[in-house]
Amino acid sequence: MTSIEECTLAMLSLESERADTDLVALVETYAALLFRVAHSILRSKPEAEDVVQDVFVRVLQHRGTLPVVREMRVWLVRIAWNLAIDRRRRIKPQQFDESFADGLVASTIPADQSMDERQRMKIVLLEMERLPKGERHALLLSAVEELGTPEIAAVLGRSESAVRALLFRARARLRERLARGGTR
């Protein structure tokens, strides 16, 4: 269990006895997913951990309405997404945690390949930053926890056909830019 889960569980354990929905189970079930969502946007572990805690603070604030939430996973991802986007507006792309790209590279490959792979990841991440906002958001949600089109549509507040079009354009644009050598 990570420190974020421990802190959040401690905070929620006091409240969970009074809530109809088992808040501790929500943390155990969704904390890792929410962290990945926030981390994919913020690319900073401390910032992503803060977002996850903020999500569960919101859950506590709305615990009376939790029984009527139809799709808990989508609802929580949407909260994490929006909080991360709000935080992201204060961070410049150049301020991203350098270890984010490093964390995407397998640790089992030789050092020279690892260096090349890190460089390729940084280029891909920079090119993703250059995508139009809607395309970038749909692509991130698709890659994180492999959310399906209906879930992405719910998080972004768009139709499924609009999400499919955004994903198609994002992938095509990213493929084209990377084929040209990226970051031009």
Q: Per-residue pLDDT averaged across 59-81, rounded?
A: 87
Residue 117 has pLDDT above 50, yes or no: yes
- DSSP secondary structure letter of residue 18: T
Q: What are phi and psi of 84, to 5 degrees?
A: -65, -40
Q: How far is CA 152 from each of CA 42, 49, 91, 164, rounded to the nearest angstrom?
A: 18, 22, 24, 10
**CATH code, 3-88:** 1.10.1740
* Mean of the per-residue pLDDT values of the chain: 81
**CATH code, 99-179:** 1.10.10.10
- Residues 87, 91, 95, 96, CA torsion sign: positive
Q: Per-residue pLDDT averaged across 115-134, rounded?
A: 83
Count CB neighbours of 90 within 10 A: 8
Residue 108 has pLDDT above 90, yes or no: no
What is the value of pTM for the model shown?
0.67
pLDDT > 70: percent of the chain: 77
Q: Where does the pLDDT of residue 62 fall: very low under 50, low under 70, confident under 90, or very high at 90 and above?
A: confident
Contact (CB, 8 A) for 21 and 12: no
pLDDT on residue 78: 92
Q: Domain-by-domain residue ranges, the chain?
A: 3-88, 99-179
What is the token pair recorded at 34?
A: 């929410």
Q: Where does the pLDDT of residue 160 fall: very low under 50, low under 70, confident under 90, or very high at 90 and above?
A: very high
d(CA 132, CA 143): 17
pLDDT on residue 16: 45
Residue 147 has pLDDT above 70, yes or no: yes
Alpha helices in 43-146 (DSSP H): 45-61, 72-88, 98-103, 111-130, 133-143
